[in-house]
Structure 1
């Protein structure tokens, strides 16, 4: 996301910037021209990150939850997660939205999407779908009933990754493994390292990147 758009979203947390002149907004966020502000507000509106009511002069940030009607749901995309080594920083900044058939979401409401990076899960099987580079992975953030052999989005030292989880209660450890046509080493985590590791949610669906 462009830094100007990030500044506008932060400003919208405090002020109704829809009731401010573009020139005033430009001064606050240190942008040289009001039309630059207008351009980036329109980009945020196009990404469905804000609701801009021009008649009533209001601009409000959209919530991060799923917005749906009977047929389709608008799912927030919260960045990317690595399907290789865990080296992509994990944050919860909305980078956009995707429109998905509600049936694909299995009637789940508290979900978000992560864009997969890498090939270490290209032999995974989520309802017959693998996870390949560029796919959108749908995460159920409310399902914390994690069992061995579930596919999860986990965060290790503030980096995000998608893996299959193996819970080894006998030895007090968790193993995150890849399922790939390539060799990737597993990640072993001791129970004592719980503060450095947590599961953000369970993988429930994969929206495949279209193939030309």
Structure 2
């Protein structure tokens, strides 16, 4: 079988350093009028390094009192640093595999950033709604005394109208009773007059009959 031509070690090292600098940028800081640059190490990780990394992570989690569950910025920061070290070791061993792992890390960070933006937007929207509700609450509280006074005025007006209505009903009842009594008295007087007229008519009829008998 044909032999695969191996790349020069220096080229492989330079390619690995470029990938490391791309996904894990060097630290830079300014001190004593000098810019300092600290690139990521390209030394391969050993089994002892992985064990030490695990112990160091557990120690920092305890020292900084990171929460074991729920959202915890401290725990996320430490796990991010640990994940970056894992990516570095994978890139040193296999650049393609490390690149894929770094892309997955960046995708996760973008997803978290999107959720963070959505959360902040929701919080801002909720605060605006709360402020509007608080403002409306103050406006309504200012209207309460006015509305209470209106209610008292309406109650007083209702009481006056009720009393007036009762007075009118009582007066009308008295008037009806007086009219009824007057009508009954008139009817009784008319009945008496009718009786008297009947008696008079009967008497006249008797007298006329008697006169007729004497004449004939």
The alignment's TM-score, normalised by the length of structure 1, stands at 0.20
Name whichever structure is richer in helix by fraction: 2
> More strand by proportion, 1 or 2?
1
Task: Output the TM-score relative to the length of structure 2.
Answer: 0.20
Structure with the bigger RCO (C-alpha within 8 Å, sep 6+) is 1
